[in-house]
Structure 1
Amino acid sequence: MGAVENSIDREDRIPKEAKEILESLATKWENVADSTALQVIQLKGAMTNEVFQIKWPTSTGEVSRKVLVRIYGEGVGVFFDRDNEIRTFEYMSKNGQGPRLLGRFPNGRIEEFIHARTLSASDLRDPDISALIATKMKEFHDLEMPGPKDVILWGRLRNWLSTAKRLCSPEEANAFQLDSIEKEISILEKELSVPNQRIGFCHNDLQYGNIMIEEESKSITIIDYEYASYNPIAFDIANHFCEMAADYHTDTPHILDYSKYPGLEERKRFVYTYLSSSGNQLSDKEVEQLVQDVENYTLADHLFWGLWGIISEHVNDIDFDYMEYARQRFQQYWRTKPSLLDSVRSSPETRTDGKQKDTPKVLSKQPSFFKKLQKYFSLTKTKA
């Protein structure tokens, strides 16, 4: 996930059970000089797990085979069902959609190393690469996964909210106005669940670090399925657009720059490529409707990753300012909510009976929210 090489050898981070599997794998490869001599390179940019590239010295002097070791982050089981994620991983690899699973140990797994380049933040803005991503995303959404095909977004948001409230101090809960978020989730579920919306198997975390490209063939591979589930496809595209504001490989990986959020023409181009990749004839209305649906689902995405950030601060020891990340996500939610929900309510697609929908009251005024967050963060920084 979002990985680039860090040259520091971290063999001490590889559990004994993982080393045994690695050594067993390496003994089957003819050119490995010493199966116990692991060369461990930590990959930077992961925010849920620790990820390591493993290779070995060879008898012929050539580069040995490489594998990935993924060590699950402490406490991240609150976000997803690990057994479901493994089943998804295995299903995807069997269908040629990702790396093969080479082994499992109690707190992680070993994966095939994909000989492709992980995208960078700037790659998402490259029109050619963006078109490849749009086409691959459509293919991903069309996968027929085993099991129920129920939308899990709203239930997951409520579960995460409950967990965030349990983990937070009263000051944190007050600063993020967590008591009002249940009502916000209900408003979004009511407003965004429009008739005939497209449901598909969504990745739900399509940031640049989870997308790889093979340079010669221009083949795109989507990796890391921890958050994958059936959801409105507009939510998945919204998440991808929101991730364009992030660069997790800077000195301040938690800082979001929403000036990098794609403009209307860029969003239209992505959606047009996505919809047309299946070969169907498109109308302008179809494209415009999905573009608007995607924009509306950015609200759900901000709550999704805002709550993720709050919980991660309490359960994960990876070096990342989760609380500041959460603050920016919630801030963007309150900033964009009034205009986006107004557009939903004025849309003829929001009701099937021709009547005007009831307009829920705005539950929180932006200035008070910003003041609370500003006060909370100034106090925490003073204490630090």
Structure 2
Amino acid sequence: MERPKYIRKYSSSSNVNARRRSTSRKHRRRRSSSSHSVHAPLGVDLNNYDSAGTEDVFELELNEIKASLDNTLPLDYFKQDIISVLQNLRIPKWRKIQISESSLQQLELKRISGALTNSVYKVTYKNYYPLLLRLYGANVENIIDRESELITLLKLSQKNIGPKLLGCFTNGRFEEFLNNSITLNKNQIREPKVSRMIARRMKELHNGIPLAQTEKLQGSKAWLLIEKWVKLVDEIVEGSTLEEQKKVFLTDWESFKKLIFSYQEWLYHEYGGKINVDEKLKFCHNDTQYGNLLFYNKADQRPINDEDEDEDSALGSSSSEMNLVNKTAALSLNSSTTSLPLVQDLNYKDDKKLVVIDFEYAGPNLPAYDITNHFSEWMSNYHHPTMTHLINYKLYPTKEERLNLLNTYVNYVPGSHTPRMLPRVGSSTTVITELSLTNARTASVVTLMDSDLPEKVVRLYNECIYWRACNSIFWGLWGVITRGSIKTGVAPSEMKDIIEVGPNGETYRVISTNDDEVDMEDDDDEINEDVDDDSFDYLGYSEQKNMLVIGDLIQLGLLIKENVDEEILKKAIYLDTELLKL
């Protein structure tokens, strides 16, 4: 019997990706890894890691192998490599799949949108529990510390937060897929009840994961990365023209860099010095955009084990999925409060159905940074048909919308099941407490007088304004580093030849070519059409973030408007910076 066309057999995982195809659309840089390890993924020395009360986290086993997956291969070749990696990682149940024409047909890959630094797939096969396959993006080794990320995931797993980490390979990992989950969209995060739920879940995260002493000593993760990325941008802008720099930074890079650190000095001074900032550090997600927030019912999840199940068993059946879809479909900006069965302020029993994912940038930060990052994400629409990079500053949350979240955050006690119902006393006006907010069925807290706000809410509100420019700087630099250049009209893959290391130590020189020059030997093969063409306008995104920086710093008094170039003033974006009085 003739072997099916696409089938390749391997004696070990190190042969995965032995056949490579070069294309100008996508190149993945591989990072070296340690040899097989159970407790020390990708070379992390956990013995020297100060767990600060989380030592049990490292008792979890984590499989890791040297292997690479390439999603630019024809689809069936890509599927074969996935099966081979699953076998060698010995992921329960999935490890039993054998490569055959039938298994390739039944293995389904669905590209998940919204991840800008990864290629993310939902992997399904028959009635098996689904997997999430994450392939690390190209040119991001200077952006994301994978070792730190894996330590974070282990800490979260120990606390039963987020999906389980099932296995790692050289350029990616497999995670538990949160089946029947619904990712929030740009409108749903604006719903007042959902916003209050986000506030409660965020506070639980900030208070639920203890920071290691080494994490506390490193200070704010945002500023730690900004300081690192500034040095990388120094290299990227070398040799660029003044016009190219102005296109991204609105001014020359050296002037913008000085502005960054002048602002940092001012920010720390507002707290009385860096030491006081570090005392306020909490474990923060640092990327709470709507694509990283989802509703998920754990009761619908299939068990992760090797036990055989009936082919037609329905833990996560279509009816269960439709039930969750129907519930969550009501979460729109114009929905009434009575149509939100998953969000109830009278009790918090459904709060745990709101899950945050993707902890690539997680680490110690001030809660104000995490919250102001979330507020800033209200302005983005990463699913726009043509302009995914655009920032609509008119969608920044109003004062009332921000207070809705902040008042909830401050008053919520992690672990509580119902709102605190004691009204404030001694006030000359009627105060909307958390209880009356729940019963009022209003879309905001517009009737809450500034003078009646708790001091902690006022301070946090003002801190969010102080830290907003830091968040804009962070993502502005992120765009430049991810792009790898500030030259327009040049694709990342055309900037320079890339040397890649294969699974057996062999090297490849990936030579950039035009699309019509790509080797067409596989014309008859089925191509993986879901591969990301990297069409996101990183430089346009960075430019807009820097517009926000300039607008904030002018309004905070760190830039004298009269001394700023007219062309810069035309581009500056001015968000609300009015501080509340204590």
Q: Which bracket does the TM-score occupy, shorter chain normalised?
A: 0.7 to 0.9
Question: Which residue, out of 195, 200, 210, partners 1:144?
Answer: 210
CA distance in 2, matches of 1:370, 1:12: 53
Structure 1 residue 153: deviation in Å? 2.5
* Structure 1 residue 26: Cα displacement: 6.7
> Which of 244, 247, 256 is the matching residue for 2:391?
256
State the Cα distance separating 1:278 from its structure 2 match.
Answer: 1.8
Structure 1 unaligned segments of length 5 or more: list them. 1-8, 343-358, 374-384
Question: For the aligned residues, what is the CA RMSD?
Answer: 3.0
TM-score, normalization by structure 1: 0.80
Residue 195 of structure 2 contacts residue 404 of structure 2 at CA under 8 Å; is this kept in 1? no
Secondary structure, aligned partner of 1:93 = helix
CA positional deviation for 1:121: 0.9
| Deviations, residues 320-373 of structure 1 (Å, cap 9, x unaligned) | 01011111111121122221x24xxxxxxxxxxxxxxxx786797152436799
Matched, 1:86 2:150: yes
Match of 1:48 among 99, 117, 123: 117
Query: Which letter maps to 1:337?
Result: L
Q: Distance in 2 between matches of 1:174 and 1:52?
A: 37
Q: Is 1:286 aligned with 2:356?
A: no
Greater CA drift, 94-103 or 215-224: 215-224
Query: What does residue 566 of structure 2 align with?
Result: 367
Q: Which string of whole-angstrom CA distances, capped at 9 and with x for unpartnered residues, describes residues 126-154 of structure 1?
A: 11111111111111111203342122332
Residues 100 and 183 from structure 1, CA distance in 2 versus in 1: closer, same or farther, beyond 3 angstroms?
same
**1: CA distance, partners of 2:283 / 2:469:** 20
Pick aligned residue for 1:188 from 263, 276, 287: 263
Among residues 173, 178, 183, which one is paired with 1:118 in the alignment?
Answer: 183
- 1:228 and 1:178 map into 2 onto residues whose CA distance is 27
Aligned counterparts of 2:263 and 2:472: Cα–Cα separation in 1: 12
Q: 2:159 aligns with which of 68, 92, 95?
A: 95
2:293–2:356 CA contact under 8 A, matched in 1: yes
Contact (CA 8 Å) 2:120, 2:135: kept in 1 or not?
Answer: yes
Paired residue secondary structure (1:121): coil
Letter in 1 for 2:232: T
Corresponding residue for residue 329 of structure 2: none
* Contact residue 11 and residue 40 of structure 1 kept, 8 A: no
Amino acid at match of 2:210: E
Distance across 2 between alignment mates of 1:123 and 1:157: 30
Work out the CA distance in 2 between the residues paired with 1:153 and 1:66: 33
- CA drift of 1:19 comes to 3.0
Which structure is higher in RCO with an 8 Å CA cutoff and minimum separation 6? Answer: 2
User: Judging changes above 3 Å, is the alpha-carbon distance between structure 1 residues 173 and 28 closer, same or farther for their aligned structure 2 residues?
Assistant: closer
CA contact (8 A) 2:86 2:94 kept: no
Structure of greater Rg: 2
Instruction: Note the C-alpha offset of 1:174.
Output: 4.3
Tell me the CA shift for residue 285 of structure 1. Answer: 2.0
Is the contact between residue 283 and residue 362 of structure 2 (CA under 8 Å) also seen in structure 1? yes
Picking from 306, 311, 323, the partner of 2:476 is 306
Q: Name the count of aligned residue pairs.
A: 343
Q: In the TM superposition, what is the alpha-carbon distance from 1:16 to its structure 2 partner?
A: 6.2
SS at match of 2:157: helix
Q: What's the CA shift string for 1:168-227, capped at 9, x where partnerless?
A: 351333442321233222222222221455321111111011111125545211111111
Where 2:378 maps in the other structure, the secondary structure is helix
The amino acid across from 2:83 in the alignment is: K
Q: TM-score, normalised on structure 2?
A: 0.54
- Aligned equivalents of 2:79, 2:257: Cα separation in 1: 40
2:134 is matched with which residue? 70
Provide the residue aligned with 1:170 in structure 2.
240
- 1:151 maps to amino acid: S
Gaps of 5+ in 2: 1-72, 297-323, 325-341, 343-349, 415-419, 425-452, 486-491, 493-532, 573-582
1:128 is matched with which residue: 193, 217, 233? 193
- CA gap of 1:276–1:300, structure 2 versus 1, over 3 A, is same
TM-superposed CA distance for 1:49, in Å, is 0.5
Larger relative strand fraction? 1
1:170 alignment partner, SS class: coil
Do structure 1's residue 229 and structure 2's residue 293 form an aligned pair? no
